[in-house]
Amino acid sequence: MSCSFIFQAEVNYLGQLSHPNLVQLIGYCCEGNHRLLVYEYMACGSLEKHLFRRVCLTMPWSTRMKIAIGAAKGLAFLHGAERSIIYRDFKTSNILLDADYNAKLSDFGLAKEGPMGDQTHVSTRVMGTYGYAAPEYIMTGHLTARSDVYGFGVVLLEMLLGRRAVDKSRPSRQQNLVEWARPLLIHNRKLLKILDPRLEGQYSNRVAMEVASLAHQCLSQNPKGRPIMNQVVETLENIQNLPENREDILFLCTDSAVTLYEVPKEIANDNLETKASAGNWESKSDIHGRGRKKFGSGRSNSEPPPVEFSQYTPSPESDRNQPNMESVDHNRIPRPSNNWVYDF
C-alpha cells in the first residue's frame, strides 16, 4: 500500500470523525513527496511503551482496565458509525494515552469501510500486524468488524499477562501469546499463575477471571463466537463496577504501582480492647525471654555435641557485648566443598 493512500485514509477518517477515544487531527501538510500529520499532544505516549519498556514504572491494574474500556469504546464507535469502519490494525502501539491515561486510537492508515446491505464481509488484501490479525482474515481475506474484536482480545491478553503478542526471545511454545495462553484462560488455577506478576495484590481473583473470560471469547477461532464491541464495553464496565473494585476495599497507589490495604479502625480498636481486657499485655523483655526459651538444640541426646563457635547475643540496652572477631578461630569453621550447588 502506497504512503499516499495511507496518508489520504488518515486525513479522510480523522478529518470526519470525532470521539473522546479517537486521537484528534489538528492539521496536515502535503508538499511534493513530503507528508505531515499533526495530532493532538498525547503526554503519556503509547500503551506499548508502558507495558513493555523496562524504563517505565509498572502500569497498575486499575489503569489497564481504564485503558481497555476507553479503547473498546473507540472501536465500538467506529463499528457503529453510519457506514461502519473496520480499524484493521488494533495493537498496543496504536493506542495513545493523554496525561490522565485516557486511551485514544491513532493511525487510521489501514482502516477500511465495512460491508453494506446484505454483504457479510469485505474482501481485501491481507494487511495488518502479525500476532494481532484474526485467523479467518489471514486465511481468506474476508474482513469484518469481528476481526477488530480479535485484535482487541490480543491487546487485552497482553495487558493481563504483561507479555507481547509475539516474542521470539521466549521458549518456542510461548512465542505466540494467543496460541500459548488462550487455552489457559478458562482454567482458574492456571490463569492465576500466568498473570503479570507485577500486578500481584492489585485485583481480586474473581475480577481477573471475568476479564480473562472476556479475552477468551474475543479470541474465539469462530468469528460468530466473538462478542460485538458494544457488548465488550458493557462487560468491562460491569466488571469495573463489581464490589471487589470499590476503592474503600482496595486502594491502588498508581504512582508507584503499590497496593495498600487498610484495616478498618473499628476492627483494630476491638482487637486492642480485647487484648487489654484479657490481660495479655507483655513487656518487651518478657517476649524476648519467652522466645529464647522455645528454641532447643535441634538434636537428640544420642548425637555428639556440635562444634563450638563464639556466639554473640546482643543486649537491648547497650552494645557493650560486641564480639571480638579476632578471637574467632576461623580454621575450626567447616567450609563448603567446591561441588556444592547454590540455589538463589
| Ordered DSSP codes for 215-248 | HHHHT-SSGGGSPPHHHHHHHHHHHHTSGGG-TT
Q: 262 in a domain, yes or no?
A: no
Set of cell numbers at residue 52: 513493555
Q: Can you give the pLDDT at residue 133?
A: 95
Here the CATH number for the domain that contains residue 188 is 1.10.510.10
Q: Which residue has the higher pLDDT, 122 or 248?
A: 122
Q: Which active-site residues does the annotation give?
A: 89
Q: Is the per-residue pLDDT at 316 higher than 80?
A: no
Question: What residue numbers bound the domain in which 140 lies?
Answer: 44-245
The rounded distance, in Å, linking the Cα atoms of 91 and 180 is: 19
Q: 34 in a domain, yes or no?
A: no
Q: 271 in a domain, yes or no?
A: no
Q: 33 in a domain, yes or no?
A: no
Give the model confidence (pLDDT) of 273-298 as tens digits: 554 554 444 444 444 444 444 445 44
Q: Can you give the pLDDT at residue 333?
A: 45
Q: Which residues pair with 251 in a beta bridge?
A: 260
Residue 134's alpha-carbon distances to 126, 170, 178, 282, 335, in angstroms, are 10, 22, 11, 66, 60
Q: What is the DSSP letter of 46?
A: B
Give the model confidence (pLDDT) of 123-172 as tens digits: 888 988 999 999 999 999 999 999 999 999 999 999 999 999 999 999 99
Q: Can you give the pLDDT at residue 158?
A: 97
Our count of domains for the chain comes to 1
Question: In this structure, how many other beta carbons lie within 10 angstroms of the beta carbon of residue 331?
Answer: 6
Nearest residue to 253 (alpha-carbon basis) of 121, 25, 63: 63
Q: Which residue has the higher pLDDT, 86 or 263?
A: 86
Question: In this structure, how many other beta carbons lie within 10 angstroms of the beta carbon of residue 156?
Answer: 24
The rounded distance, in Å, linking the Cα atoms of 267 and 169 is: 49
Q: 102 in a domain, yes or no?
A: yes
Whole-number CA gyration radius for the chain: 30
Q: 210 in a domain, yes or no?
A: yes
The rounded distance, in Å, linking the Cα atoms of 216 and 122 is: 25
User: Which ranges of 226-307 does DSSP label H, i.e. alpha helix?
Assistant: 229-240, 265-278, 284-294
Q: Can you give the pLDDT at residue 302?
A: 53
φ and ψ at 38, to 5 degrees?
A: -115, 110
For residues 69-78, one letter each, b for 16 or more C-beta atoms within 10 angstroms of the residue's C-beta and e for the rest, the string is: bbbbbbbbbb
Nearest residue to 67 (alpha-carbon basis) of 101, 106, 23, 98: 101
Mention every residue, 6+ apart, whose C-beta is less than 8 A from residue 184: 190, 191, 194
Q: Can you give the pLDDT at residue 273?
A: 52
Q: Which residues pair with 319 in a beta bridge?
A: none
In this prediction, residues 325-332 reach a mean pLDDT of 49
* Under 8 Å between Cβ of 43 and 16: no
* Under 8 Å between Cβ of 184 and 191: yes
Q: 191 in a domain, yes or no?
A: yes
Give the model confidence (pLDDT) of 48-82 as tens digits: 999 997 766 889 999 999 999 999 999 999 999 88
- Its pTM stands at 0.71
Q: Can you give the pLDDT at residue 51?
A: 93
Q: What proportions of the chain, in percent to the nearest 5, are helix, strand and coil?
A: 45, 10, 45
Q: Quote the strand ranges of 50-90, DSSP E.
A: 85-86
In this prediction, residues 248-260 reach a mean pLDDT of 44
Q: 293 in a domain, yes or no?
A: no
